[in-house]
Each structure stands twice: as structure tokens, then as C-alpha cells.
Structure 1
């Protein structure tokens, strides 16, 4: 049995509880309000709802490039770098990124893995020695589902993904697809595929939002990457008003996969509350992937971040949720419990 004391951000509302979390056999036994002198802040571990970890072989290589030149398939800089990387180089680069994510509080990520079945196997190998378990959205033909957890399509204007959609339905695994990143032309075709997850939706309009709400399709947004690629600003407030929205960091070549940076950027740039942003960074991504984490409640998997609430950065904060979302950094992490 293990106890973590301090200010616990409990439940889906992240209500600050001064007390402790009791953990037994890897699961939360109880959340108890009790006297404590600890200044720690205990919050759920993050689930990064959209990454491209293969980009780890080319960090900052696309500085100054737009979407098409930087990341669009098949001939962008990203894909040329992926084609040139040997397997050992790729696995090592992805493992280093996963290790950074693990150390900074991310328990899982929903990764769109390029290069078909070999790419999915490389990511599995990269994650093997670590305490972070990526949810792999594979690419290529439907056989990738023998290795991957679901299918991740580049976009409805890039290819006909009907076979992959059907294969996902047959196997009972999720189909995810990019939509509305450069413009709105691929959003309706993407929705026609009845995906379990849409990514980006920067250019979503009312007619798209109505379809999303009708079908309860969750959306992963990546606002920092959208800014770097200069594709526009996702309508996060409107998206939240219509469906579940989760937070992702997107391409490692563009930004570090820091959920602290992504939360702070989102909270300060968009019409959202700190609790909404923290929910986007934790339980929303977990529920999309069917993971038993993202919330501190009895019976749930024990996956926590413990922050030093008395660090030079966080000391004297008047609201722990606002402090976690808008101010906390990786330097405030005392430990990650998974």
C-alpha cells in the first residue's frame, strides 16, 4: 500500500482535496480528506491525444516551412527524413522522446505511426523498456491492424480509406483521421467515414459541428502545431460546446511533446477554463483510447503526477488548478507514479 499526500485534484471536476490518495496493487483504493503538511499537488497523469513520434529523427528540421512542405504525405521533408532513417536510428529517437514524456507526466499518447506495419513494430520496440504505453494508430494497408491498436488516416483528400475503415469496424478497433487542418474541404468526407476520432478541425464550420455533435465524434486539437504551421486557429470553445475535445502536441519535429506547454498555451489563447484544459489533457484522451486513467477516483488505475507545490515557481499560487494549467513546468515534477 502507498499513500500520496498533499492537495489532490480529485474526480472529473479536479476538486482540490487536502488529504491523501491511497493506492493498493496499482489501483486507487480511496481519496481521503485529512490533515497534511505536504505542499505537493497530486494530479492525474497526462494522455497526449495526438503525436507523430517518428518525427523525433528530425527535430526543428522544418523551421520556417508550411504544412505541405513540412509534413504532408508523401513528399514532404518529414517523409523524406523518415525514409532516410534506418530502423535503429528511428527506434532510438522515438525511445528518447517517450522517455521525456514519461519523465514529465505522460502515461500514454495516441500516436499516428507512419511506415505501415514496420513503423508500428518500431514504436512498440521503442516503448518496451519504459513505463509509457503508446496507443498506436497504424498506417498503410489494413494488415497493420495485426500490430496496431487502430488506424490513423492522413486525410480524406489524400486517399480512399474505405477498406481500412471497414477493417477497423470488423475488428472493433478505432479509426481516426486528420480533418480540417489546411482547409475545410476534407471534413465532410472524413465524417462520412464515421471515425472514432477526428484530429485538428481548425476550419470546422457550423455544419461540421452539427454533424460532429450528432455522432458524438471526439476531436483532438493541437493548437501549438497549428500556430507553427500557420494553418489557423482551432475553434476550441465551439468544439467543446459540441463534443469531447482532447489535447495533443502533434509532430515532435515541430514542438516538444510537453503537455505543460500545450496546456498553458491553450489556457491563455482560447476561451476555455483551466478545468476544461486539464480535462482535455487527461481524461478526454484516456476515454477516447479506452484507457483506465486520467482521473483520480476509487477503483481507477493509479497514474499520477506529483508536483512540488512549494517550488520557486508554484509557491504562493492561490488556485492549484490554475497553477497546474497556466504556470507549472516540467521542473516542478517531483515524481510520476504509474
Structure 2
């Protein structure tokens, strides 16, 4: 089936006026002319990337109103970790199945997950090819085992483990050509040089990092995933303006699934609106770019891309609706 979609097209970090032609489920051509007779009109975008989430946290949803970061999520004694350690395999699978269902409804293209519980956690499986699982090992032996069946490894922070352990975990992940990621300066400032020496694929939060820390991360080309709704829940907010000024590659994540929904569009909206309240000037297009990034490439509407990887925001009687192409 051949059809055309015309309007604004997200390409290479900006919106252009144009028309895409789809045939047999693939974008065949992209023109820079608007077609008034197109089959569908709207804003054509890639499906977004939720670049940081803890999916197993869903089992803690509505179980507590704790808003102290350490008491709620810090390992090993935070409320969530105690509940995860006691959870049945059925409850854990339920959390993942619920996430898969929600991700489909929200039209998320890629999800990068920090998975707790070591071997047990990764044995729960990957929900689809678009879900990446970075497992959290509890010891070196477990790390060597789970790296074979994970997309990479994660650690809570260098404040929560011996640094020599973090070094070894990073080395194991990188020796297998897989990702290594870590939370950084979420509640206390951490030694950025020590973190960069671990050669992470990306880091998460940088909420209380200094401007100099941010510049060092930018200089090393390490992407940063910010999670503003989660940070705000704990009374914090990342300096996104400084990150943009320093040239940091910023992505968005929804973080703890018991606090926030997987809706990454809501994350973007919150960041744009709340940044002003925190005295930051963040342009809308910069936030949009964060939605459509992977760690090493930008997501873009291009010829040859499968239509199922795209969305159209169609304005029907003033009510924007997402349309999935096929």
C-alpha cells in the first residue's frame, strides 16, 4: 500500500516542511514540498527513546509516600530494594509485562532499563528488541555470568560501592563490547574524574554536579540522561541550561516507575515548563532533540526507515492525536 504524509517532518534535529511517501511499510522518498492532497497531514516524528528507567520499581507503586531519596531508593536498605528482595518472580514479571503494555500504548521506540537483582533480574527476560537491559551485578562472579545475557551493566553510584568494584564492573562490560552506565551526583557531588576514569557509555542525573563537572563530561563526549520529574520529586533539579551551554549530549528518562509513568513526552513537557521555575532558559527545540536521541546517534525521519518506527501528530478538531504508521 502506498500513501503520503505531509506537514512538518523531524529530520536531523529540526523540523522541515515536506512530504514523505510510504510504500510497503518503508519510507521511500522525502520531498521538501507540502502536499495538500496527502493522505495524512501532521507532524512526523520518530518514536522517542526513554533512556533511563527502573521497570521493576512498579511493584512498589502506591505502597509508600516516602520522599527522602536515601530512604526510598538507595541500596541496599532503601524501601524499594527491600521490597524487590522479597518480591515473588510472578510479581516481578507482572511489573515487566505492565511496562511492555504501557510502552506500546505510549508509542515508545526504545527503552534503556537499569535492571536490579543481578542474575534473577536478568533471567526475567527482555520484553522486546527495543528494550535494553543493563543488569546490576551483586559481585564480580555474577557480573561475568550476566554480561553474556545482558545489554550491559549498571551501578547505582560510586558512593554505594567500593571503587575497585566499579572499576572491575566497567572493565567486564567494555571487554564484551557492551554498555556500562552509572548514576552520578544525584544527591551528593561525586568525583567526576573518578567517574570518567570508568569510561561509562553514559551517566544519569548529574543533579548536583558543578559547572566544571558538566564541562568535563562534555569534553569527554559522555552522554547524560536527565530525569527531571524524578529529581523534582526529591526536591532537586538538573542544571540543563549549563549542560546545553557546555555541549553535553542530553537524553531524557522517566527513572523510577513507582514515581513516574513511562510517558517520555510528559517528561519533556515537565522539563521545558519547570526549567523556568528553576531560573533556567531552555528552548523548546532543545528539549525536543532530547526525545529523539540514542547514545551515539540521533533519531530522524529518513528514507529507508520503517514506517512502524514513526509517529504522526495529527490535529483533529484542535485535539492532537498520535497516529502510528504502518
Normalised by the size of structure 1, how large is the TM-score? 0.84
**Partner of 2:147: helix, strand, or coil?**
helix
Instruction: Give 1:27 deviation, angstroms.
Output: 4.4
* Alignment partner of 1:110 out of 94, 109, 112: 112
Q: Output the CA distance in 1 between the equivalents of 2:135 and 2:252.
A: 20
Instruction: Give 1:4 deviation, angstroms.
Output: 4.8
Work out whether 1:255 is the aligned partner of 2:260.
yes
Work out whether 1:307 is the aligned partner of 2:306.
no
Give aligned pairs, total.
Answer: 308
**2:244 corresponding residue in structure 1:** 240
Q: Output the CA distance in 2 between the equivalents of 1:52 and 1:241.
A: 29
* Alignment partner of 2:130 out of 125, 128, 133: 133
Q: Output the CA distance in 2 between the equivalents of 1:3 and 1:138.
A: 42
- Counterparts of 1:12-31 in structure 2, within 5 Å, are 12-24=12-24, 27-31=26-30
Instruction: Give 1:8 deviation, angstroms.
Output: 3.8
**1:321 corresponding residue in structure 2:** none
Contact kept? 1:218, 1:245, Cα under 8 Å: yes
**1:193 corresponding residue in structure 2:** 198
Q: Output the CA distance in 2 between the equivalents of 1:60 and 1:311.
A: 36
Q: Output the CA distance in 1 between the equivalents of 2:301 and 2:261.
A: 26
Distance 1:167 1:181, change over 3 A: same
Contact kept? 2:51, 2:251, Cα under 8 Å: yes
**1:61 corresponding residue in structure 2:** 63
Distance 1:287 1:192, change over 3 A: closer
Structure 1 unaligned regions, length at least 5: 315-331
Q: Output the CA distance in 2 between the equivalents of 1:227 and 1:269.
A: 9
Spell out structure 1 runs of 4+ moving beyond 4 A. none
Instruction: Give 1:99 deviation, angstroms.
Output: 1.5
Q: Output the CA distance in 2 between the equivalents of 1:185 and 1:161.
A: 14
* Alignment partner of 2:73 out of 61, 71, 74: 71
Cα deviation 1:208-237 (Å, max 9, x = unaligned): 12321221111000000000122x210101
Contact kept? 1:136, 1:148, Cα under 8 Å: yes
What is the Cα-based RMSD across aligned positions, in Å?
2.1
Which is further off, 195-204 or 114-123? 114-123
Cα deviation 1:74-121 (Å, max 9, x = unaligned): 111111221222112211221112221222120111100001122123
**Partner of 1:308: helix, strand, or coil?**
strand
Instruction: Give 1:257 deviation, angstroms.
Output: 1.0
Which is further off, 43-52 or 264-273? 264-273
Instruction: Give 1:266 deviation, angstroms.
Output: 1.1
**Partner of 2:16: helix, strand, or coil?**
strand
Q: Output the CA distance in 2 between the equivalents of 1:2 and 1:53.
A: 38
Normalised by the size of structure 2, how large is the TM-score? 0.87
Structure 2 unaligned regions, length at least 5: 138-142, 276-280
